[in-house]
Amino acid sequence: MERNGALVGVSLAVQFAAELVVLAALAVWGYGAVDGVGRYALMVAAPAIAAVVWGVFGAPRGPRHLTGLGRRILQLLFFGAGALALAGAGHPLAAVVFAVVVTTNIAFLTYTRRD
């Protein structure tokens, strides 16, 4: 039982790291997506919007924390945006690795009923 608890702890840390990767990937993508002053606006706005949406609906203590199918859809959109941002920023292999890690981690957390 203790080993499972340690694995869940590691998995939750991976989940948090993945959330940070999404925000960083959106910032990098935003910077490269447009030219001029708009690049700075998108570099800030894309991760800010994602952080607010995740904080309200995805974070465990969020005011409108989703469960079930709603949560799965949110995860698909949030982490999918991160993978697409990585690919759009010129890192397709990182996007695929990120998507595989996130999918595996979510499956584990769902299996252990921690997500």
Under a CB-based contact definition with an 8 Å cutoff, are residues 16 and 93 in contact?
no
* Residue ranges of domains in the chain: 2-111
Q: Give Cα separations from 102 to 36, 37, 61 (angstroms).
A: 33, 33, 20
- Is residue 6 very low, low, confident or very high in pLDDT (cuts 50, 70, 90)? confident
pLDDT, the chain, mean: 93
Q: What percent of the chain has pLDDT over 70?
A: 97
The predicted-structure confidence for 34-83, as pLDDT tens digits, reads as follows 999 999 999 999 999 999 999 999 998 999 999 999 999 999 999 999 99
Q: What is the pTM of this model?
A: 0.89
Q: What percent of the chain has pLDDT over 90?
A: 83
